[in-house]
Amino acid sequence: MGDDRQLVARISAELSASTGLTEVCAWLIESRHHPVRLEAGHLPALGRRSWLSVARPITAPRAVLCTLWLLDELERGSCLVAGKLRFVGHPTASDVRMSFDGRAIRTGHGDNAARQLLEVIVASIEKTAARTIRLTAAG
């Protein structure tokens, strides 16, 4: 038998988040310079410690697009997930529709991994926004 890690599956997911594109862009900028470390429990579908890395975002009036990589922490350079992350802002509300479309090592959990990834990203954006609000209020 071959190495199962070489097999890839297409994964995708969508969800809404109560955040704005301003917060999304702030998170992307911070994450670009400081990749997000994820424990195995953050993404049970993959069950590995990893680093979430994003590329420079492409922005439009109501949308943000960027490339995303999830790199295995233990096997340096081994990519667990890669794809595109899209944020589309609601025209009148502060909600954002997020979607991820990409490829992952075959896990048997497919789109669950993509959904878990989006949930982790939303939590990270909210954490960054809360930290920014505290710093702004203090200064």
**Per-residue model confidence as pLDDT tens digits over 24-78:** 999 999 999 898 999 999 989 888 899 999 999 999 999 999 999 999 887 776 8
**Per-residue model confidence as pLDDT tens digits over 77-110:** 688 999 999 999 988 888 899 999 999 876 666 6
Domain borders along the chain are 4-138
What is the dotted CATH code of the domain comprising 4-138?
3.30.530
pLDDT band at 135 (very low <50, low <70, confident <90, very high): low
What three-state secondary structure class fits 32?
helix
